[in-house]
Chains A and B, each alone.
Chain A
Amino acid sequence: MDLRALLDRPTDAERLAVDDLLGPSEEFNGRVAYGGHEARARRQLLLPALHACQDAVGSISRGALGYISERLTVPPAELYGVATFYSLFNTDEARGTTVHVCDDIVCSQYGAKGLLQTLEGSELSWEASPCLGQCERAPAVMFHSPGEGYGNAAPVDSDTVGNVVFDELPHGVVHQDQSQLRLLRRIGRIDPTSLEAYRGSGGYQTLTRAIELGPDGVISALDESGLKGRGGAAFPIGIKWRGVADAPGPDKYVIANGDESEPGTFKDRLLMEGDPFAVIEAMTIYGFATGSTKGYIYVRGEYPTAEKRLRDAIVMASEAGLLGTRVANAGFDFDLEVRRGAGAYICGEETALFASIEGYRGEPRQKPPFPTQHGVFGRPTGINNIETLLAALEVIEGGAGEFARVGTEQSTGPKLFCVSGAVEKPGVFEVPFGTTLGEILALAGGVRGGRGLGAVLLGGAAGVFVDFSFLDMPLTFEDTREAGATLGSGAVIVFDENCDFGPVLRRIARFFEEESCGQCVPCRIGTVRQSEALARLNDGETLGTVADELERLDDLARVMTDASICGLGQTAASAIQSAIRLQLRGAPA
């Protein structure tokens, strides 16, 4: 490969930001010699390097891109392709502080439109954003300030939306009684910045227990517990862990998927912010049980507090000998690294997440081969969602039998639901599998303002709308599947009887249109055609009759579901089709 560099040079600030990450450059007489295997092996630092520049100066300039390209031996065109893939990287003119305003389906119920109107008349640079995962305190914004960092504010109003403050938000509030909680029991009660506090509450005893059980004992316990993945696919965890453990080593990886980006979903944020050491302990056990010596925690780029807590916790755990070589004085090594996403829902898809870590565009890959054989860096990889990892910790701590006693036969253990939208007390609720939808709504205080229920969107944008007739449905994998619904990410978004669903459906359609990676035709073009058809229906300007439009939407739904590469395209029509079945299209304007 003949690397042709851009002629622009980086500014001192950009060079410093990159050198801070990659080490000082060996420059002599203005000529730089990098390359070879050593430089190429660092391609996985590409995303952190882009973050470093974006954070320092508010853009990825030509000079900065050229410099990263030289340092990592990545062609500038490829690097540009990666930088433009992520919505939080700006390859145009540098901007000062930017406010990202969530105008997704929950925040738009809480006045996001007014916030956008306020900002339109202000000097601040701003952008509308997909769900920021702060739905229990909507409406939410995220600030990004060059040289200062990034932060969230929620709830905000027209007066406060322009006040850029980087104070950490308080923990998400847990409304339930302590006695009912396992996964959430430490949230808001134990100082998440103190390893001592974590240990004092029983932390790291589970790792000791896991070491006693041995890798096979851990995986057998997971098998017996019946634990299934909480990320949406409900895959049996014991099988996945055993797949990685049985794969030939030594290079294998475990990954915690904290790229929680499904609209209306914020449980993993709560766990990462409020119980970071538990995530680290669970990952350490994951590494021990599967024989992997390296782990990543991929945190979505909109979660500043979670990222910071996890980074700090990793440092503290390493200093205490709980990460690194000879973890806890037992005979295994395990290192953990945080990776920060950069604004791409698709990177929550496991193979896209691998590509993102490796420094490529976050485009999903064809499966098979599956991650347990061919994962990140082409090596066997175990990847689980944050809630799943904490549930696995519960299995080891309390035993498989104890865990399986909670819930139903096919859906064992406790489950977190993120209730948001038109309820009195939005928040994360921990319940046994099998709790009904009505009971969960009751825990959240029922529909806001005593109004009637319009509909509930289960599982977020990739989920399914259900109406009042589903209130008695037990929320389990098997019951929702049978009813043609889904648990998805555990999002429960409530709409009241006065809701106009037209704009809601159009926002969902726009979400997929904007978040499609663009790789496959059904999703790249289908999501656009779906948006266009909904707009025509909403505006009363149908091509042919309403029935013609519905047929067109049905055709699009089928091709996206049948022929898209990954779950994003395959579910891009799910919520919209379910709304059409429930006659929730909204009246034409």
Chain B
Amino acid sequence: MTMTEREISTITAQVNGEVVEVPDGSTILDACRQAGLDLPTLCYGPTMTAANACRVCVVELEGSRTLVPSCSRKLEEGMDIRTGTERAEHSRRLVMELLGSASELDRSGDQLDSWIEDAGAEPSRFGPKAATVAAQPKIEDDLYVRDYGRCILCYRCVDACGVEHQNTFAITVAGRGFEAHISTEFDVALPDSACVYCGNCIAVCPTGALVGKVEFDMREDDTWDESRQGVTRTVCAYCGVGCNLDLHTQDGKIVNVTSPHDHDVTLGNLCIKGRFGWSYVSSAGDV
């Protein structure tokens, strides 16, 4: 069979009463997006397999006793999906309230802020004494900071470090229940672990719990200002792979380097040199 002859089998389902047709293997979320609806997602990133942990993307599925996670539930023929029922919206609101009551979300970006606002979530309703995951940021080197008081345990960093991207397996979810947390073996410092400082965990962290040291310091000093930042796309000069780099600059200086998530080659991933090896650019010394 040649490429032109190949037929793509499709699935037909209903989203909020509207009929959608999507390729076989799509998720409910894919179908919702095809229908022009976007749902909040936290543990699901565009470059990763859904971890199915945060439950912020739940929707109502006709015939299902419980709500279902749209990011990881495969679409089946004839499914009848409702995204805006009172029950689905209630769960989405509560999930955001619970997350906001346990973790600092102030560096999670505008998108989460707007989701929280749209849902009418009030994280403070659980009172000032509600248990949190507050912790001192782990600053072990000049490359990046692990600020686990902002962690929502979405598993993205663990998956990126492991089977999804890097295959390094330096970090894991340790402990259980509310005590569950991201850790190396016996919580050894990163240089003593398998970490290769690729920073691909930073690239997938949705809440700013993992962040470059320069950005972290600037945020602490209150000098980080995205409105004054520009992004310049270039190609990494270190080796022949040719990863795309986005240089984030503020006041004429590089403050962060990322790679575009939609790039076929990198999927947002880089190595230690591409992600962190740029301080020489603004070095005052002679070359």
Contact = CB atoms under 8 A, between A and B. Distances in A.
A91 B186 CA distance: 8
A4 B194 contact: yes
B13 interface: no
A556 B129 CA distance: 17
Listed residue (B55, B56, B101, B188) with the most chain A CB atoms within 10 angstroms of its CB: B55
16 contacts: A78-B162, A80-B186, A81-B183, A84-B174, A84-B175, A84-B176, A366-B72, A519-B53, A520-B52, A520-B53, A526-B98, A532-B127, A536-B127, A556-B94, A559-B95, A563-B58
A204 to B, nearest CB: 41
A524 B153 contact: yes
A62 B177 CA distance: 23
B69 A561 contact: no
Nearest to A555: B94
Interface string B40-80: 00000000000011111010000000110100111000000
Contacts of A522: 55, 91, 94-95, 98
A525 B178 contact: yes
Interface string A1-19: 1111010000000000000
A410 B53 CA distance: 36
A570 B185 contact: no
A536 B128 CA distance: 12
A521 B151 CA distance: 12
Given A518-B173, A526-B98, A563-B67, A80 B183 contact: yes
Interface in A79-108: 79-81, 84-85, 87, 91
Interface in A394-452: none
A476 interface: no
Nearest to B173: A81
Interface in B166-210: 167-180, 183-186, 188, 193-194
B169 A1 contact: yes
B125 interface: yes
A261 to B, nearest CB: 14
Contacts of B231: none
A510 to B, nearest CB: 11
Given A2-B168, A520-B54, A556-B94, 4 more contacts: A78-B172, A81-B172, A520-B52, A563-B95
B278 interface: no
A559 B174 contact: no
Nearest to A86: B176
Interface in B84-109: 87, 90-91, 94-95, 98-99, 101-102
A397 to B, nearest CB: 35
Interface string A496-527: 00000000000000000111111111101111
A249 B95 CA distance: 41
Nearest to B88: A562
A528 B179 CA distance: 11
Nearest to B125: A552
Interface of B: 52-56, 58, 66-67, 69, 72-74, 87, 90-91, 94-95, 98-99, 101-102, 125-127, 129-131, 152-153, 162, 167-180, 183-186, 188, 193-194
A65 B172 CA distance: 14
Nearest to B194: A4
A578 B236 CA distance: 61
B55 A77 contact: no
B172 A528 contact: no
Cβ-closest 6 pairs across A and B: A518-B180, A81-B172, A75-B169, A559-B94, A76-B185, A4-B194
A323 interface: no
Contact of B87 (A1, A517, A562, A570): A562
Contacts of B153: 518, 524
A77 B176 contact: no
Listed residue (A77, A524, A529, A561) with the most chain B CB atoms within 10 angstroms of its CB: A77
A65 B185 CA distance: 9
Interface of A: 1-4, 6, 62, 65, 75-81, 84-85, 87, 91, 344, 361, 366, 368, 513-522, 524-529, 532, 536, 543, 552, 555-556, 558-559, 561-565, 570
A522 B184 CA distance: 26
Given A65-B185, A524-B178, A528-B131, A78 B54 contact: no
A259 B180 CA distance: 22
Nearest to B171: A77
Contacts of A85: 174-176
Contacts of B174: 80-81, 84-85
B66 A563 contact: yes
A558 B91 contact: yes
A532 B131 CA distance: 9
A563 B93 CA distance: 11
B127 A77 contact: no
Contact of A562 (B52, B66, B126, B194): B66
Listed residue (A62, A81, A564) with the most chain B CB atoms within 10 angstroms of its CB: A81
Contacts of B73: 366
A4 B192 CA distance: 9
Contacts of B87: 558, 562
Contacts of A1: 167-169
A516 B94 contact: no
A345 to B, nearest CB: 10
A428 to B, nearest CB: 30
Contacts of A529: 98, 101, 126, 130
Given A78-B169, A81-B172, A552-B125, A527 B183 contact: no
Listed residue (B69, B73, B126, B152) with the most chain A CB atoms within 10 angstroms of its CB: B126
B176 A79 contact: no
Contacts of A75: 169-170, 172, 194
Contacts of B127: 532, 536, 543
Contact of B55 (A6, A543, A556, A564): A564
Contact of A552 (B66, B72, B126, B167): B126
Contact of A518 (B95, B131, B176): B176
B194 A2 contact: yes
Contacts of A520: 52-55
Contacts of A3: 194
Nearest to B188: A6
